[in-house]
Structure 1
Amino acid sequence: MNLEIITPDKKIFSGEVSAVTFPGTEGQFQVLNNHAALVSTLGQGAIVVEGAHKETFTVDGGVVEVLNNKVLVLAESIS
């Protein structure tokens, strides 16, 4: 599936991944290939991206949308 992580300043990540774990405001959740459509708010915590290698981004909040194997993260800020 394709993942894009965007902040108001720049695009942080774009590429194919196999799984992404998010810090949802109601608890942590994971998105895999062919996941059902979803829109959720993000709390403060780690976004763990699993693809060719594992990457972790710390987000201060935001929104994630999952639709047709495309995952778009609009993050307030990434540290």
Structure 2
Amino acid sequence: MNLEILTPEKKLFSADVYGVQLPGVDGLFEVLDKHAPLVSALKAGRLKVLKDKSNHLAYFTIQSGFVEVIHNKVTVLVEGAVPSGKQKPN
């Protein structure tokens, strides 16, 4: 699935990924390939990108915003976001 992380200033991330974990207003949730359509509000927190099934990860610290999932595309619209580290499998 395709993931885009957008702020008012720029496109911060755009790539095909395995999944993404998001800080929803009611708690963390995860979106994987072929997820049903949804729109949800996000609170400030840590977004985790699952780049593939081998646990290649990327993290972003985000401000509040929204996520839309439709036709295997995840669009994250937030007030601000910064990369906050990467982790690779051992």
Q: Structure 1-normalised TM-score?
A: 0.96
In the TM superposition, 1:25-44 aligns within 5 A as: 25-44=25-44
Q: Which amino acid aligns with 1:63?
A: F
Q: State how far apart, in whole Å, the 1-side matches of 2:44 and 2:20 are.
A: 15
Match of 1:8 in 2: 8
Matched, 1:62 2:68: no
Following superposition, the deviation at residue 23 of structure 1 comes to 0.1
Alpha-carbon deviation of 1:60?
Answer: 1.1
Unaligned residue ranges in structure 2 (runs of 5+) = 83-90
Structure 1 letter corresponding to 2:81: I
1:49 alignment counterpart: 49
CA RMSD of aligned residues (A): 0.8
Instruction: Give the Cα–Cα distance (whole angstroms) in 2 for the partners of residues 4 and 41 of structure 1.
Output: 16
Q: Report the TM-score, using the length of structure 2 for normalisation.
A: 0.85
Residue 19 of structure 1 aligns with an amino acid whose one-letter code is G
Match of 1:17 in 2: 17
Query: What whole-Å deviation, never above 9, does each CA across 1:51-71 have from its counterpart, x for those lacking one?
Result: 143100011110000001000
In the alignment, structure 1 segments of 5+ residues that lack a partner are: none
Q: How many residues are aligned here? A: 79
